Amino acid sequence: MKIVVIGSVAAGTSVAAKARRNTEEAEIFVYDQGKDISYSVCGIPYHIGEEVEELSALTPRNAAWFKKRYNVSVFTEHKVTRIDPANKQLEVTDLVSGEKKQDNYDGLVFATGASPFTPPPFNQKEYDNVFQVRTIQDARDIGAYSSKQPKKALIIGAGFIGLEMTEQLIHKGLEVTIVQLEDQVMPPMDADMTFHIEEHMRAKGVNLILGDTVKIIEGKTSVERVITTNGITIEPDIVILSAGVRPNTELAKEMGVKLGDSRAIAVNNKMQTNLPDVYAVGDVAESFSVITGKPIYRPLGSTANKMGRIAGDVITGGDLEHRGVLGTGIFRIFELHVGQTGLTEKEAKKEGYDVEVLYNIKPDHAEYLGGKELTIKALADKKTGRILGAQVIGKAGVDKRIDVIATAITFKAKAEDLFHLDLAYAPPFATTKDPILYTGMVLDNALKRNPLITPADLINRLDWNEKVQIIDTRSKKDFEKSHVKGAIHIPLAELRERNVELDKNVTTVTYCNKGVTGNAAQNVLINYGFKKVYNLSGGNKNFQNHIKMIEKNYSK
C-alpha cells in the first residue's frame, strides 16, 4: 500500500505518523511546496515579539527526523501539480531543480492547508513592508525587516492573528493601528463581549479603526501612506495582513473533489471525500458542529491534528471517526484572556434556538488571595436546557472555565448539570461556588423560576414603550453613582415592606451591581405574588457597559 500526503504541517504529518503507527507495510510519501514542515503557525507572533527567542523552537522536526523516526519520506520544495484519479497517478515538480516526476498512490490525502487572504488594494502590487503571518518563511521575512527598526505598524484584520500580533508589536515598542472591516474586533464573538476587548486595547494605546477598510495606498515599493474609505490617513512603517484565510482547494477541484458550502473540501466523519481513496484534513477540509450537526469551517491547529490522526487511522484500516468541533478557541491580548466555545448568541438565534442568556461576573478564585474578575456569557436552550455556548473574558482562569464548558457541551450537558460538577476547590484556584457551578445554577433557575433579562432586551422593551417597573436594590451611594434610567431605588433590606408601592401585575426588573442581590430581590417579589419578574443579567455593571457600547456605535 502506498499513501501520498500533500502538505506537511500539522494535519499532514499527523496522517503520516498515525498511519505508520498502525502498519509497517505501507509506503508513506509526503510532498510539500514549502521549506519547513511540522511547524507551529500559532507560535509565530510570539517569536516576532521575542517571547520565543529561537525560531527553531517552532520547527522541532525536519524531513530527516521523520525518515528516522517513522520511515516516512518527506519531500520539501516539491509541488504536486496534477492528479489523475482514474489511474491514481500524480505529477510532482521539484521547485529547486524544475524537474518533474510521476508518482502513484493507493490512498491520497489533501493536507494543503489554507492561505492568507490578501484584501484589496494590497492584492494589486507587492510592497517590501507588507507581510502575512502564516509560514515560518513569513516569520523570517518579518524578522529581517525588523532590522530597519519600524516605529509604526498597521494591522489589517482583528481576528486571532491580528490581535496576537498587536500585543507582540506593542511589547516591542511599536505604535499599532488596526483597521477592521466589521464594526467589532473578533467578529466570530458577540459584540457585547468584544466591547471589553476593545476597551482594554484602547487603554493599552492601540488605535482601533472599526467598520472601515483601506481604500488607497501611496508609495512605489513600500507602503508609505494609506487612506481608508472613511478618509482616515495612516502612515505605517510596516503592514501586517491578517484578514483571514482561504482553503487551498485548487488542485482538489481540478481532480473533481467536491467542496462544501464554506468552499473547503467536503468530507464525511472518516475524512473521506467524494472520490474513492481520497481524503482531506486540516485547514483545507470542512468540519461539522457538535451542536447542530451542520458543516462548518474552523481552521485551527488542534482540529488539524485531530483530523490528521483520524485519516491516518482510517486509511490503514482503523475505525476512528471525527465527532465534530465546537470552534473552541482562546487567545491573550495583553493581560486579558479571551475564550469561546459553541454557539454565540447571534449564531444560536440564527439557528432558531430560543436562548436563555446569562452574564456571570465572578472572581476566578478567592478575592482575598488576589482573585481576578471573570465575565462569562453563557447560553442555554430554553426548550431542552442544553448548554449551547459560552464566551469568557478575564485576567486569569479563563482556559479552565472554557474547557470545562466545552467538555460539558460535547456530552450534551444541560444547565442543571453544570451545578452538579465536582470541580477542584481551594482558595488559590477557585471559589467555593466556582463560576462554572454558578453559571449552571443561575441558568437552571432562569429556565425554571427566575427568568433573566439582558441589557439589550430591557432597552428594546423601553424603546417600544412597554410598561416596565425597574427596581434598583443597591445602596443609595451606588444608585447615585449610576443607575438604569427610570429605575426606582428600593434597597433589598427595605423591599419586603415597600413592595406594596409596586404594581404586582406590571413586568418588573430587579438589579444590583452584578446580579446576586438582584436575584434575591427577584425571589422576594415572586414570593409576594408578582406576576412577571426578571433579574437584569450581569447587573448594573453589565448594563452600563452595554450603554457605552451603544454610544460607541452611535459616535461613528
Give me the catalytic one of 1, 23, 35, 42.
42
DSSP single-letter state for residue 433: S
**Cell 494590497 sits at which residue?**
122
Q: Find cell 492601540 and name the residue.
A: 206
Question: Cβ distance 239 to 154 under 8 Å?
Answer: yes
Provide the sign of the torsion angle of the four alpha carbons 192, 197, 203, 209, taken in this order. Answer: negative
Q: Is 512 a catalytic residue?
A: no
Residues 321 and 307: their CA atoms lie apart, in Å, by: 9
Q: Which residues of 419-444 are buried (b: 16+ CB within 10 A; e: fewer)?
A: beeeeeeeeebbbeebbbbbbbbbbb
Helix 10-22 × helix 63-70 angle, to 10°: 20
Inter-residue contact 42 to 161 (CB < 8 Å): no
Q: Would you mind telling me the total number of residues written for the chain in this entry?
A: 556
For cell 426588573, name the residue: 509
From the list 253, 343, 332, the residue with the least C-alpha distance to 298 is 343
Closest CA to 51 of 137, 139, 115, 131: 139
What does the alpha-carbon distance between residue 209 and residue 228 come to, in Å, rounded to a whole number? Answer: 9
Question: Dihedral, CA atoms, 118, 210, 182, 135, nearest 10 degrees?
Answer: 30
Beta-sheet pairing, 295-296 with 329-333 = unpaired
Q: DSSP class of residue 285? A: B
Among residues 226, 281, 221, the alpha carbon closest in space to that of 248 is found at: 281
Upper half-sphere CA count for residue 523 (Cβ side, 13 Å): 10
Helices within 411-538 (DSSP H only): 415-419, 435-448, 455-463, 476-481, 492-498, 516-527
DSSP 157-219: --SHHHHHHHHHHHHTT-EEEEEESSSSSSTTS-HHHHHHHHHHHHHTT-EEEES--EEEEE-
Give the separation between CA 311 and CA 280, rounded to whole angstroms.
Answer: 8
One-letter amino acid at 256 equals G
CA distances from 343 to 147, 156, 397, 492 (A): 43, 26, 21, 35
Cα torsion for 99, 105, 111, 116, to the nearest 10°? 30
- Specify whether the CB–CB gap between 111 and 308 falls below 8 A: yes
The cell numbers describing 352, all together, are 432558531
At 319, the amino acid letter reads: D
What's the distance, Cα to Cα, between the start and end of the chain in Å? 61
CA separation, residue 384 to residues 293, 389, 414 (Å):
17, 14, 8
**Residues forming the active site:** 42
